């Protein structure tokens, strides 16, 4: 188990990825956007018992607690984090067995993955084993544990549709519990776990922030035993020259998803796994393949982001009626269960006058990705403040143009961004 203490008392603003020299990482070392200050203590437990007791101890001592996975949905402030950062060091995936099912001769299979498993390692395992259901989520950075916190989704799939149950440590009751898929109350980039962290969108809750009340220990998935899967997204269908709903080999779907993601700069920079604080977080073979497969790996300045920085807004009919006729609009369900209309955050940003590559000023260290309007990127040497300033300019511009306030998707630690 890695357990390091630092003296994160410096008030100097740290630069991206610098070593504190104090035995603990900077949050810049642990996050894909590569910003964030030093931490007081970093623990990487390798057993469930050690993981749970590290969480229990931090709570008992009333210390701020950040359970971190791949740091791909986190924007951490430049100031020191005076608390404990815990990263699950367990990486096992166990196939529980197949049973006959409505899926006919292919059957289905249950798989338990520990929270610390790298998400894309899990996808590779499933695709290579001939288990379909998560291939559309190829290349999403992060871990299995966090995947159910925000119900990751991409290219027509959401993790929610494969989850049977989540084993978690309930910080309030002090016990390990099993949460069924119903208990998880999955929604668009949301779950019962994420709900414990916010009182309103982007407004942290008093008790459980930046780590939810339930710390995920493992997830049980149910996938289909099949080498083929459904092409569930228009862009992929177009790449294959087939209709949405057509069936293709899951290995092909994975390849196509990775290509589309690479072209949009929506893959993390896999070279980060060579850094001392990330070593061992992802299977070495998959790191090498990810570097090889990424066509845009040279475009460093587009690679350090949190992925989509803003959620697609789900509006009520009154708000949606004010959008221009050509704004994308899809039926959706709002968090209170009422009917809503989802629009595209990328479209709003673009049509509010913020083009790909936009920066507040010529020499700014932060800017929109030159490949994707929705990604705010650290273009080298950015601080968290640089990213927040850019985010605020975009929020204000979109609100002034369309009357819609964009809500950030990443968990914002040590700063305010609403």
Ligand X SMILES: Cc1cc2nc3c(=O)[nH]c(=O)nc-3n(C[C@H](O)[C@H](O)[C@H](O)COP(=O)(O)OP(=O)(O)OC[C@H]3O[C@@H](n4cnc5c(N)ncnc54)[C@H](O)[C@@H]3O)c2cc1C
Rule CB under 6 A: is residue 290 a binding residue for ligand X? no
222 or 261, CB closer to ligand X? Answer: 261
Q: Which residues are within 8 A (CB) of 86 and not within 5 positions of it... i.e. 6 or more apart? A: 42, 43, 44, 45, 51, 54, 55, 58, 65, 66, 67, 68
Residue 68 Cβ vs ligand X, minimum distance, rounded to whole Å: 4
Rule CB under 6 A: is residue 187 a binding residue for ligand X? no
Closest by CA position to 196, among listed 163, 149, 164, 151: 149
Residue 126, SS3 per DSSP: helix
Three-state SS letters, 242-265: CCCCCEEEHHHHHHHHHHHHHHCC
Q: Binding residue for ligand X (CB under 6 A) from 153, 229, 340, 367?
A: 153
> Alpha-carbon distance 32 to 54, whole Å?
24
Check if 308 is active-site.
yes
Rule CB under 6 A: is residue 74 a binding residue for ligand X? yes
Per-residue burial over 158-187, b if 16 or more Cβ lie within 10 Å, else e, is bbbebbebbbbbebeeeeeeebebeebbbb
172 or 316, CB closer to ligand X? Answer: 172
Check if 189 is active-site.
yes
Residue 86, SS3 per DSSP: strand
> Alpha-carbon distance 15 to 382, whole Å?
7
Q: Binding residue for ligand X (CB under 6 A) from 16, 138, 143, 373?
A: 143
Rule CB under 6 A: is residue 387 a binding residue for ligand X? no
Site string for ligand X, 212-231 (x = CB under 6 A): x--xx---------------
Give ∠ CA 267-272-278 in degrees, rounded to 5: 120
Check if 317 is active-site.
no
Rule CB under 6 A: is residue 411 a binding residue for ligand X? yes
Rule CB under 6 A: is residue 407 a binding residue for ligand X? no
> Alpha-carbon distance 354 to 373, whole Å?
8
Residue 317 Cβ vs ligand X, minimum distance, rounded to whole Å: 26
Q: Residue 190 forms beta bridges with which residues?
A: 187
The interface with ligand X within residues 321-380 (CB under 6 A) comprises none
Residue 261 Cβ vs ligand X, minimum distance, rounded to whole Å: 7
What count of other Cβ atoms lies within 10 Å of the Cβ of residue 330? 11
179 or 323, CB closer to ligand X? Answer: 179
267 or 384, CB closer to ligand X? Answer: 267
108 or 116, CB closer to ligand X? Answer: 116
Rule CB under 6 A: is residue 210 a binding residue for ligand X? yes
Residue 61 Cβ vs ligand X, minimum distance, rounded to whole Å: 18
Among residues 87, 90, 189, 254, which one is catalytic?
189
Q: Which range touches ligand X (CB under 6 A), out of 211-219, 223-231, 309-317, 384-392?
A: 211-219
Tokens 């040279």 -> residue: 298
Tokens for 47, please give them.
Answer: 């057993």
Tokens 């001769």 -> residue: 105
Name the residues that contact ligand X, by CB under 6 A.
32, 66-74, 88, 115, 140-143, 145-147, 149-150, 152-154, 210-212, 215-216, 266-268, 305-307, 411
Residues identified as active-site: 189, 308, 409
């Amino acid at each position: 188990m890695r357990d390091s203490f630092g003296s994160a008392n410096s008030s100097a603003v740290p630069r991206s990825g610098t070593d504190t020299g104090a035995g603990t990482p900077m949050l810049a070392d642990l996050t894909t956007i590569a910003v964030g200050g030093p931490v007081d203590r970093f623990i990487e437990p390798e057993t469930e018992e050690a993981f749970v007791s590290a969480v229990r101890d931090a709570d008992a001592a009333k210390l701020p607690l950040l359970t971190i996975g791949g740091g791909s949905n986190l924007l951490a402030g430049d100031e020191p984090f005076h608390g404990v950062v815990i990263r699950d060091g367990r990486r096992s995936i166990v196939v529980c067995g197949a049973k006959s099912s409505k899926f006919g001769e292919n059957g289905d299979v249950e798989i338990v993955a520990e929270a610390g498993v790298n998400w894309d390692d899990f996808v590779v395992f499933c695709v290579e084993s001939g288990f379909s259901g998560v291939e559309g989520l190829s290349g999403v950075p992060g871990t299995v544990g966090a995947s159910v916190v925000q119900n990751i989704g991409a290219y027509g799939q959401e993790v929610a549709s494969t989850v049977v149950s989540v084993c978690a440590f309930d910080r309030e009751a002090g016990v390990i519990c099993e949460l069924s898929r119903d208990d998880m109350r999955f929604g668009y980039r949301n779950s019962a776990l994420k709900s414990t962290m916010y009182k309103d969108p982007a407004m942290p809750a008093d008790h459980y922030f930046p780590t939810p009340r339930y710390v995920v220990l493992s997830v049980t998935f149910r996938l289909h035993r099949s080498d083929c899967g459904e092409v569930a997204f228009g862009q992929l269908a177009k790449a294959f020259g087939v209709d949405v709903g057509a069936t293709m080999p899951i290995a092909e779907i994975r390849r196509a998803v990775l290509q589309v993601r690479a072209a949009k700069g929506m893959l993390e920079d896999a070279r980060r796994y060579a850094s001392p604080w990330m070593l061992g977080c992802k299977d070495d073979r998959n790191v090498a393949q990810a570097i090889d497969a990424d066509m845009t790996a040279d475009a460093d300045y587009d690679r350090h982001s949190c992925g989509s920085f803003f959620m697609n807004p789900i509006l009520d009919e009154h708000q949606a009626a004010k959008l221009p006729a050509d704004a994308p609009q899809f039926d959706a369900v709002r968090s209170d269960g009422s009917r809503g209309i989802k629009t595209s955050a990328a479209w709003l940003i673009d049509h509010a006058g913020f083009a790909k590559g936009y920066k507040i000023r010529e020499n700014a260290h932060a800017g929109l990705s030159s490949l994707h309007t929705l990604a705010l990127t650290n273009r080298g040497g950015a601080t968290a403040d640089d990213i927040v300033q850019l985010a605020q300019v975009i929020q204000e511009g979109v609100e002034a143009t369309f009357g819609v306030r964009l809500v950030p998707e990443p968990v914002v630690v040590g700063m305010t961004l609403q």
